[in-house]
Amino acid sequence: MAKETVEGLCQKAQNAVAQGDNETARQLYLQALGLKSDAPDVHYGLATVCFLLRDLTSAAYHFKEVTRLDPLRAGAHINLGAVYNRMDMLDEAIPALRRGIQLDQRRAEGFYNLGVVYRRKGQADLAIQAYREAVRINPRMADAHFNLGNLYLEKEQYAMALAHYKQATELRPNWEKAQHGVEQCEEVLKENKAAAANSPVTSTVPAPSNDLGDIKIDPERLLSPEAHGAVLTSLHRVTIESDGFGRELLQIMERQIEPAIKELSTCLLYPDTSVGELSQCLAKFEAAMAHMRKEQQSLQTAMTRIHKLGDHLLRS
């Protein structure tokens, strides 16, 4: 009988996996390891089979052996992190996944698994960042869209949640959980819209400290252009200014704050990032925050003027 070779045993193991006989595949890979114990491909195949057999301890061991023998193999680091996650070894999973992402930043599954770990650790913002990278690389990753929907729903950002739930249902049309998320978000947004339509417009800025006390407001009173024209003109002008400040604030958040946070988070995801690059990200983030605070102060000042002019009209 011809002597078995490592290559021949691995081929038989792959055929066994294709036929669903994972236990036979494991025995064949073990025989191959007996012939060549330092073969990373054999360890990788054996780790995969052990994972399929739900032998997570063995799967983690053999994936770790691959990272030792072939430290630049990104998939081994990512799979090791995924197995650690299944084993509830979250602190061990994060560096393994980060290393895999460093080696190959096009691996959407690396970011996806990192999102899973951060979600389980209760770090929702980091989980969102990781999932968003996953769908940026692979927009057809339905599970990542669904998990983003869940996270945005928890943060009560219903429009964002709805968008990702819809993406998940488009990619997987009969997914009941995703469809339920769509319906839930649409219902909340509908209720919020109805409530806004039936409620008076209110400002989020605290009311001025001066109190109207027992002043009685005559609902039939008419404003006189001669007596109140200057105040009305000022009120109109400052209202337009406050609208401009509000629009500018939204643009700053969208075009400066969000990209700065994304870049900063990306730097923090990679432990080997140089100090210079991290410093640049921090500087960009701090500059964006300073710009936002300045615009917030302008809006606050304008709203205070609106309240004072309104009080003046009520008292006159």
Same-domain check for residues 239 and 296:
yes
DSSP summary character for residue 254 = I
Q: Give the tens place of pLDDT for each residue, 172-184.
A: 999 999 999 999 9
Instruction: Please report the pLDDT score of residue 211 as a whole number.
Output: 46
Average pLDDT score, the chain: 83
Owner of token pair 């994304």: 262
On whether residue 267 sits in a domain, the answer given is yes
Same-domain check for residues 229 and 190:
no
Same-domain check for residues 183 and 261:
no
Instruction: Please report the pLDDT score of residue 214 as a whole number.
Output: 47
Q: What is the 3-state secondary structure (H, E, C) of 15-65?
A: HHHHCCCHHHHHHHHHHHHHHCCCCHHHHHHHHHHHHHCCCHHHHHHHHHH
Instruction: Please report the pLDDT score of residue 200 as a whole number.
Output: 63
Please say which residue of 195, 211, 241 terminates a domain: 195
Least confident of 139-148, 248-257, 271-280: 271-280
Average pLDDT over residues 258-275: 60
- Phi, psi dihedrals of residue 220, rounded to the nearest 5°: -90, 0
Instruction: Please report the pLDDT score of residue 178 as a whole number.
Output: 95
199 or 101, which is more confident?
A: 101
Same-domain check for residues 262 and 307:
yes
On whether residue 144 sits in a domain, the answer given is yes
Least confident of 236-240, 245-249, 267-271: 267-271
On whether residue 79 sits in a domain, the answer given is no
Confidence label for 302 from pLDDT (cuts 50, 70 and 90) = confident
Asked whether residue 249 carries a pLDDT value surpassing 60, the answer given is yes
Instruction: Please report the pLDDT score of residue 217 as a whole number.
Output: 45
Confidence label for 209 from pLDDT (cuts 50, 70 and 90) = very low
83 or 299, which is more confident?
A: 83
Same-domain check for residues 242 and 305:
yes
Q: Give the tens place of pLDDT for each residue, 9-31.
A: 999 999 999 999 999 999 999 99
For residue 170, the enclosing domain spans 139-195
Instruction: Please report the pLDDT score of residue 133 as a whole number.
Output: 95
On whether residue 32 sits in a domain, the answer given is no
Average pLDDT over residues 110-119: 96
Q: What is the pTM of this model?
A: 0.62
Same-domain check for residues 262 and 189:
no
Distance, CA of 245 to CA of 297 (rounded, Å): 9
Q: What whole-number percentage of the chain has pLDDT above 90?
A: 59
75 or 285, which is more confident?
A: 75
Average pLDDT over residues 243-247: 73
Report the CATH number at residue 182: 1.25.40.10
On whether residue 308 sits in a domain, the answer given is yes
Distance, CA of 60 to CA of 45 (rounded, Å): 12
Report how far apart the first and last C-alpha atoms of the chain are (Å, whole number).
110
Domain count, the chain: 2
Same-domain check for residues 237 and 302:
yes
On whether residue 310 sits in a domain, the answer given is yes
On whether residue 130 sits in a domain, the answer given is no
Asked whether residue 37 carries a pLDDT value surpassing 60, the answer given is yes
C-alpha 63 chain-centroid distance: 28
On whether residue 166 sits in a domain, the answer given is yes
Question: Residue 232: in which H helix or E strand, if any?
Answer: helix 225-252
Asked whether residue 1 carries a pLDDT value surpassing 80, the answer given is no
Residue 2's CB is within 10 A of a number of other CB atoms, namely: 5
CB 78 within 8 A of CB 110: yes
Same-domain check for residues 231 and 311:
yes
Instruction: Please report the pLDDT score of residue 237 as a whole number.
Output: 75
